[in-house]
Amino acid sequence: MAKNNSNLKNKNKLFNTTNIKLLGQGKLPPQAIDFEEAVLGALMIDKNALNEVIDILEPECFYKEAHQEIYSVIKTLFANSQPIDILTVSDGLRKKNKLELCGGDLKIANLTEKVASSSHIEFHARIIVQKHIQRTLINVSSNIIQDAYDESTDVLDLLDKAESELFDIANGNIKKNYDSAQSLVREAIKRIEFVSKEEGLSGISSGFYKIDNVTAGWQSSDLIILAGRPGMGKTAFVLSMARNIAINYNTPIAFFSLEMSSIQLITRLISSETGLSSEKLRKGKLQNYEWQQLHSKIKKLEEAPLYIDDSPSLSIFDLRAKCRRLVSQNNVKIIVIDYLQLMTAGKENKGNREQEISTISRSLKSIAKELSIPVVALSQLSRAVETRGGSKRPLLSDLRESGAIEQDADIVSFIYRPEYYGLTEWDDDQGTPCSGQGEFIIAKHRNGGLDNIKLKFTASLAQFSNLEINNDFSNEFSSKMNN
């Protein structure tokens, strides 16, 4: 009896450790062998057929290893501008010592007998991809289940991994180890053609024409750092920019505010949009005509694709999850974070503050690359600016707490208002008045030039706008953007 109980315990133990691995066994993985054979046959009888599917199919999309090898040889022949037919494919497989694996010359020849033409090849290829995605989902799900049973697994890491892998599948972006030069050149040409049609603006316009002239818009996958001392107007600038992006260009934008509440932020935007001072709006003391002005001018703001999240002490883990959802559900094209030093790296990344900021900075760049959108993050500057004699204009060395911010960022910029320090003129040796003005300083630009750009600042509305010094330039820019 004791022996039977022991055997039962051993069986239960075996089941508990292996039942997850056995999930799905006894079922045939999703596949479409007939469609795979039809596609491969069509590729060998029509030299133009590959153009229809080369951007859809990768070798790993095929279920059978033999079919993966055949398609891999076909892609190689195409890349080398060589003919694709029964003889060249067989020869390519022979050189790789894969011909016998694929069934020999007769099997290759038989593939072409299954089709009469390449008609519907794109439709057939998409069915193959669908089956591949189903298999990938099964594998990912099985791994998640297996990891979930592992008591040593960190649940937050597991959630992040699960969401990341499912996000990749949902976007048809199953991760690859490399991109071929051929596919990258094609993508680059498409981008150049797009830019030529957009009059040189390849990214998301900030609404500030001189900034866009230097950056060509905020670029996908870029991390943009905007730094400044308290009171310089960092939040005012990104709110003005968010207003331009959401209202003027109807581009979805997400704003993560760790310092101000969402109501405070939207009140600032209402002030900017209506021309009513923030002080009046806070106190609610408006004249009848001002109430009418308020209600008549906020409709555009109400309809703007602007999403504000004011979660305090936001961790990188939570931010990544929220950004993925915003991109997938609301098609958000740009993320703004106010501000970086108020974020946390999570319990598992606790260290000294410099290490934590480095982790946050790297993670923000990673989010920008993963989602292929620009991420704009505000950052504080150290007090060295205040103690420095002479000019208070910020420098890269003033970035607070970590040099990793400068290293990870594609663009590092500063907001500087000399009026804040009681100055009445710019330090340009021309005695130019600086009242009601600010400067957007591009101090690092990985893919472009540097510049100091003057902007108009309206303190009562906490609003930055274009400084209309060169009207011809601004009118030309506005005309291009509106067209």
What is the Cα–Cα distance from 242 to 221, expressed in whole angstroms?
18
Tell me: pLDDT of 334 over 90: yes
At residue 400 the predicted structure's pLDDT band, cuts being 50, 70 and 90, is low
Mark 308-347 as b/e (b = at least 16 C-beta within 10 Å): bbbeeebbbbbbbbbbbebbeeeebbbbbbbbbbbbbbbe
Write down the pLDDT at residue 7. 45
Query: Helix, strand, or coil here: 307?
Result: strand
At residue 411 the predicted structure's pLDDT band, cuts being 50, 70 and 90, is very high
Contact present, 69 and 55 (Cβ < 8 Å): no
Q: Which amino acid is at 467?
A: L
Model confidence, pTM: 0.64
User: What backbone torsions phi and psi does residue 178 show, to the nearest 5 degrees?
Assistant: -160, 165
- Please, what sign has the CA dihedral across residues 353, 355, 357, 359? negative
259 a catalytic residue: yes
At residue 349 the predicted structure's pLDDT band, cuts being 50, 70 and 90, is low
Q: Which of 68, 75, 69, 67 is nearest to 51 (CA)?
A: 75
Average pLDDT, the chain: 80
What is the Cα–Cα distance from 172 to 149, expressed in whole angstroms?
28
**Greater model confidence, 99 or 348:** 99
Tell me: pLDDT of 330 over 70: yes
The residue annotated as part of the active site, out of 198, 259, 406, 419, is 259
Most confident residue range from 176-185, 332-341, 471-480: 332-341
Tell me: pLDDT of 340 over 60: yes
Write down the pLDDT at residue 376. 94
pLDDT per position as a tens digit, 266-310? 888 888 888 887 777 777 777 788 788 788 778 888 888 989 888
35 Cβ neighbours under 8 A, 6+ residues apart: 124, 127, 128
Tell me: pLDDT of 347 over 70: no
> What's the whole-number mean pLDDT along residues 381-410?
78
pLDDT per position as a tens digit, 222-262? 999 998 888 888 899 999 999 999 988 899 999 998 888 88
CB atoms closer than 10 angstroms to residue 284: 7
At residue 16 the predicted structure's pLDDT band, cuts being 50, 70 and 90, is very low
- Domains in the chain, CATH or no CATH each: 33-177 (1.10.860.10), 204-482 (3.40.50.300)
Query: How far are the Cα atoms of 92, 322, 326, 374 from residue 371, in angstroms, in the given order?
Result: 38, 12, 10, 9
Question: Which of 22-26, 90-94, 186-190, 234-238 shows the lowest mean pLDDT across its residues?
Answer: 22-26
**Greater model confidence, 185 or 4:** 185
**Greater model confidence, 428 or 254:** 254
Give the alpha-carbon dihedral of 385, 400, 361, 414, to 10 degrees: -10
Tell me: pLDDT of 335 over 90: yes
